Structure 1
């Protein structure tokens, strides 16, 4: 059966000489894996651009139950990103987003609210005025809400993590900072020194590891530390 849906590209791997296997988080059908033939051939060079991480697509897809690999009938870009593909920091943050989502959801997982949040976040990341230094912190805090394990208050974001990297003097400042991030989201301009922002990032990523019960290290950490300047 054919379905029309929007989707956000998470990642792809090469398959045979000209094809790819692509993970796409769709709004209506959830996380799906698609086999896309011929997209890497010389005649189809431009088409591979459709499947870069955090690209938003409009698709007509086949959806067969109990089938691991699905097929795409029609596809086009919903909105072309203007800054993300050409700005090193924004590209790094897009890869960070894909890593977080890929480790947080499973095949066929469907959550329209999470999808809408991701689409909104991509739009924010692609705007020049968005503060990149605060972006990964806001993303982790907000994303946890849609995944269902976000604490109710700023203080609980600190207390519910079994690790506690902050000194007594830092806790109040950090709690105020988290509250501002919760209230103002991607518009937050609250000033906090680089050292504390990096400690909060480590704290939130450790919190995710505990919630997801996944002890793998974060591959995008090197890029993130350059963004948090």
Structure 2
């Protein structure tokens, strides 16, 4: 058995027996990896508190050649989160982020740029005081780059975004699989916007909802599994 150290972001957990769980993490050294975590509910404390959606952990893992999953020998918080676990808006967004990543990211190999992006996104969301309601929209736009279908050109005035071809075009494409000019303009803004500029992006609830539907259609063109993301309904209620 080989032991190793890794940083991980919690994507999903399943209870296993009375005191164990299976935890799906996205790690810096092995991509998406699932682990057996034993003694989660024990006399030494509740380890389950470490494995909430999008929590960052530092682990000592054990690779078990004959088993389908690795085992976590030790785990501790990588970066304590000050507000995300306690702010219903942030925890709702983190739940959505974790479910999207769990559904869409399947690679079981190191992808340090993607790991760094996810970790920094979590830390930025935790620090945010304004612009929180737009964060999940920005996250989806930026995530598309790591999944291989970031828009292929820049937005210009009155463009439509062609979902099928992944580019901005000057008029509605004949196949009509596209974003309308309003959503296309917002997509262009979010492509240029850094996370710390989100407070300046003033959007009505209807605008966020319309753009969210457009982004789900864009993601759905590439990944059918986006349509089974259950936390979308919670997002609609909160934002």
Measured against the shorter chain, the TM-score band is 0.7 to 0.9
For residue 178 of structure 1, the aligned residue among 187, 194, 202 is 187
Give the structure-2-normalised TM-score: 0.84
| Structure 2 match to 1:24 | 25
Q: Is the 8 A contact 2:60 2:75 kept in 1?
A: yes
| Structure 2 match to 1:158 | 161
Larger CA deviation: 6-15 vs 145-154: 145-154
Q: CA deviation at 1:164?
A: 4.0
Q: Which runs of 5+ in 1 are unaligned?
A: none
| Structure 2 match to 1:219 | 230
How far, CA to CA, are the matches of 2:112 and 2:225 in structure 1? Answer: 24
Secondary structure in structure 2 of the residue aligned to 1:68: coil
Distance 1:62 1:147, change over 3 A: same
Q: How many residues align?
A: 222
1:193 aligns with 2:193: no
Secondary structure in structure 2 of the residue aligned to 1:133: helix
Distance 1:227 1:63, change over 3 A: same
Instruction: Write the deviation string for residues 195-226 of structure 1: whole angstroms up to 9, x where unpaired.
Output: 12211111101211221133643301222123
Larger CA deviation: 154-163 vs 217-226: 154-163
Give the structure-1-normalised TM-score: 0.88
Instruction: Write the deviation string for residues 25-57 of structure 1: whole angstroms up to 9, x where unpaired.
Output: 11111111111111123x144321111111111
Q: Is the 8 A contact 1:34 1:69 kept in 2?
A: yes
How far, CA to CA, are the matches of 1:152 and 1:24 in structure 2? Answer: 30
Q: Is the 8 A contact 1:151 1:157 kept in 2?
A: no
**Structure (1 or 2) with the greater helix fraction:** 1
Distance 1:212 1:109, change over 3 A: farther
How far, CA to CA, are the matches of 1:134 and 1:215 in structure 2? Answer: 19
How far, CA to CA, are the matches of 1:163 and 1:81 in structure 2? Answer: 40
Q: Which runs of 5+ in 2 are unaligned?
A: 165-175
Secondary structure in structure 2 of the residue aligned to 1:210: helix
Distance 1:107 1:113, change over 3 A: closer
